[in-house]
Structure 1
Amino acid sequence: MVPVVYQDGHALLQRVVCGRFSNNAYVLVCRATGEGLLVDAPEEPEKVLQALQGVRVRAILLTHRHPDHWAGLASIKTALHAPVGIGEADADGLPVPPDFVIADGQVFPFGRLALRAMATPGHTPGSTCFLWGRYLLSGDTLFPGGPGHTRTPQDFRQIVESIRRHLLVLPEETVVLPGHGEGTTIGKAREEYALFASRPHPPDLCGDVLWAG
């Protein structure tokens, strides 16, 4: 049974948990038209394809270039015949070129609904989050308790800037749905970040950082 994050008479949002890293793929469907979008394509593609039965997928959108988020892409793309997009700075991280690159602010319609892309570099140069209504699909940019992993202090400063400028300004009731594990809300993330920002930190801070740590 694929967990349903949200559904009403107009839309369906499902979270498909896949693979050894518990990746989350997200399926969004316009009930009126049967059109949908897929965000991320991890291993165990059969789980994703089962959730997409009967859906006409307009596009496969990747949050970033790390292989655990596209390990099932070849099988899924072959089955769906849908174009694949990723942030331009991450395009060279795929085994084959994407069909298109995702621009900041780009809108992706599916039926009578639409999803908006938000460029949030830091975890990777081309990391992208996606906003649909009050749901933020945050990839590996924002998790409960902290940002995604960063490899250098420069990357850490960049991911914090992305989160602060683009994500924490969203309404506090916005539900954050990350690329792994359970979600949080923007309101909770704001509170956690405020505590982090109130304390001094070493200039070389990076890696797996918790706001409370």
Structure 2
Amino acid sequence: MTYSGDVSPGGAPAVRELDGLTITKVSVGPMDNNAYLLRCRDTGEQLLIDAANEAPRLLELVGDAGLATVVTTHQHMDHWVALEEVVAKTGARALVHADDAAGLPIPAQPLTDGDTVAVGDRELEVIHLRGHTPGSIALLYRDPAGVPHLFTGDSLFPGGVGNTDRDPQRFGQLVDDVEHRLFDRLPDETWFYPGHGRDSTLGAERPSLPQWRARGW
């Protein structure tokens, strides 16, 4: 089946096969959070982005292959409800940006902008996007055989940047980081995977950047 990225709580995962990486997207309740299981096709090593909720379901997704790493995109609780149980049952290392580490229920290794996180033979680049939370991050996979793939947490969605509680300073920081650290660096065909809802591409959203700035959210 062609990957669409459309998932719903309790529904079937969506699976995307890249040349060296398999991406499995699943939605968990009650807040329709997306969790992403990445598997290196050469080594079989797996990494989970946001152990958001429904630990038994995420563990079933992981299966017998084991889990090496869980990366939490930011400190909001709906993105880590299952983290403690998933880590306890798999032995995976937990990673989060240093500025959000205090908001997690378990100790996690700190990340910073520009770090790389391995998934077997593949690498994800950490991009710090300030504003939704102090330590929000995106994870970038530059597919050598295709387009870039970007996991944006709650910092970028189809239709706008993440919630900044109508704080002009936080909004300005976030929209600046999203524009300069994502849109200015990456091509239109970059596919991005948000923390809730449907995927999009940077090209589909790029024309709306001035509108986002003008409306202030």
- TM-score under structure 1 length normalisation: 0.89
Partner residue, 2:159: 145
CA positional deviation for 1:97: 2.4
How far 1:39 sits from its partner (Å)?
A: 0.6
Give the secondary structure class of the aligned counterpart of 2:95.
strand
Moved over 4 A (4+): none
Structure 1 position 59 matched with structure 2 position 69: yes
Asked if residue 125 in structure 1 is aligned to residue 134 in structure 2, the reply is: yes
Aligned-CA RMSD value: 1.4
Show CA shifts across 1:147-201 (max 9, x none).
100022111111111101111121100011000000111111211113445x5x5
Q: Equivalent residue for 1:186? A: 202
Residues 89/9 of structure 1: CA separation in 2 closer, same or farther (3 Å cut): closer
Q: What's the CA shift for 1:105?
A: 1.0
Asked if structure 2 preserves the Cα contact closer than 8 Å seen for 1:42 and 1:72, the reply is: yes
Q: Which residue of 2 aligns with 1:85?
A: 95
SS in 1 for 2:64: coil
What residue in structure 1 maps to residue 173 of structure 2? 158
Residues 54 and 160 (structure 1), Cα distance of their counterparts in 2 relative to 1, 3 Å cut? same
Pick from 72, 92, 97 the counterpart of residue 107 of structure 2. 97
SS of residue in 2 equivalent to 1:57: coil
- Unaligned stretches of 5+ residues in structure 2: 1-11, 143-147
| Count of residues in correspondence between the two structures | 199
- In 1, the alpha carbon distance for the partners of 2:34 and 2:197 equals 7
Q: Which amino acid aligns with 1:54?
A: D
- Percent of residue pairs identical: 36
Q: Counterparts of 2:37 and 2:211 in 1: how far apart (Å)?
A: 34
Query: Structure 1 unaligned runs (5+)?
Result: none
Tell me if the contact between 1:115 and 1:130 (Cα under 8 Å) persists in the aligned partners: yes
1:7 CA drift (Å) = 0.3
1:167 is aligned to 2:182: yes
Aligned equivalent of 2:30, options 20, 24, 37: 20
Q: Matched residues in 1 for 2:96 and 2:182: separation? A: 19
CA distance, structure 2, for counterparts of residue 48 and residue 59 of structure 1: 13
